[in-house]
Structure 1
Amino acid sequence: MNEVAIIFVQNSHIIFIIWLISTLIATYIGVQRGFPFLAFINGIALGPLGLLFVLIQDNHNRKACQFCAEKILKEAKVCPHCQRNVNE
């Protein structure tokens, strides 16, 4: 068991960098998908596993605009991307 602890301590800077990069990527993807805080918490708490969770999560509060296909809020009346009326 001592060998595992020694390996972990010797490679802790690499583990920290991987964890930090995973958190940043998870947060970026979360911002793009509309749930930045949840993505940040997943990234910081779970690291690479949190990044995987963010990648497979879907935001059920958004739908695709029928004109430009960008993700918008379901309650939106005008698409913020193409400025067209999206009422059904």
Structure 2
Amino acid sequence: MMDNILFWLGFYIAMLIASIAIGYSKGNIVAGALLGYVLGPIGVLLLLLSKDRKMLSCPECSAKIHRHSYICPRCQQKVLHRFELK
């Protein structure tokens, strides 16, 4: 009985750590912690399929760039962000 409890406790702690790591890499650590804690392996799967909030696509060449970039390193074009007026 105690082995069974320790297994599930370790399993959910591992899912929590994995979801926090994935959330951190995608720029959404709070959602990672909550999904990993509440949903376990389903939360990890949801995070793997979620959108990356740290990277955006360049409107000119579609390269992945950091969301705070001012100039695309691939095509050297100025990147307009959502908060800027066109």
Give me the TM-score of the superposition, normalised by structure 2: 0.66
1:23-62 mapped onto 2 (5 Å cutoff): 23-59=16-52, 62=55
> Structure 2 regions of 5+ residues with no counterpart?
80-86
Report Cα offsets for 1:46-86 as digits up to 9, x if no partner. 111111111111135631579xx66511x53268xx7xx76
Identity %: 19
What is the correspondence of 1:1-88 to structure 2 with a 5 Å cutoff?
A: 11-59=4-52, 62-64=55-57, 71-73=65-67, 75-77=68-70, 87-88=78-79
Structure 1 residue ranges without an equivalent (≥5): 1-5
2:56 maps to amino acid = K
What amino acid does structure 2 have at the position aligned with 1:72?
A: H
Q: How many residues align?
A: 76
Q: Name the TM-score, length of structure 1 as normaliser.
A: 0.64
**Structure 1 residues 12 and 34 mapped into 2: Cα distance closer, same or farther (>3 Å)?**
same
Q: Where is the helix percentage greater, Structure 1 or Structure 2?
A: 1
